[in-house]
Amino acid sequence: MSTVSIAAYVYGMVQGVGFRFATQHQATGLGLTGYARNLEDGSVEVVASGEQEKVDKLLAWLKEGGPKHARVDRVLSEPTAPGHYSDFKIKY
């Protein structure tokens, strides 16, 4: 199977609610690599690499609202070049 990679930008109440940790848990459970990090504008950037079906599942979870304490208003995503990640990390 080929590896695909996306960069997703999640907007809403997504900082200070465990969003990055929950995203890491979801991504790791799907066997994806990449990272999640807070951006200065209040959004969260998620870069995920792996099998297409699994990346699609993570993206659907993000669009559905992520963890229960978050409020996702919108998710913008785009394909990106696969990075060389060994696991899924939280970047600070």
Catalytic positions: 20, 38
Assign residue 34 a region (left: φ > 0; alpha: ψ between -120 and 50; beta: otherwise): left
Rounded Cα distance between 67 and 33, Å, is 19
Rounded Cα distance between 6 and 56, Å, is 9
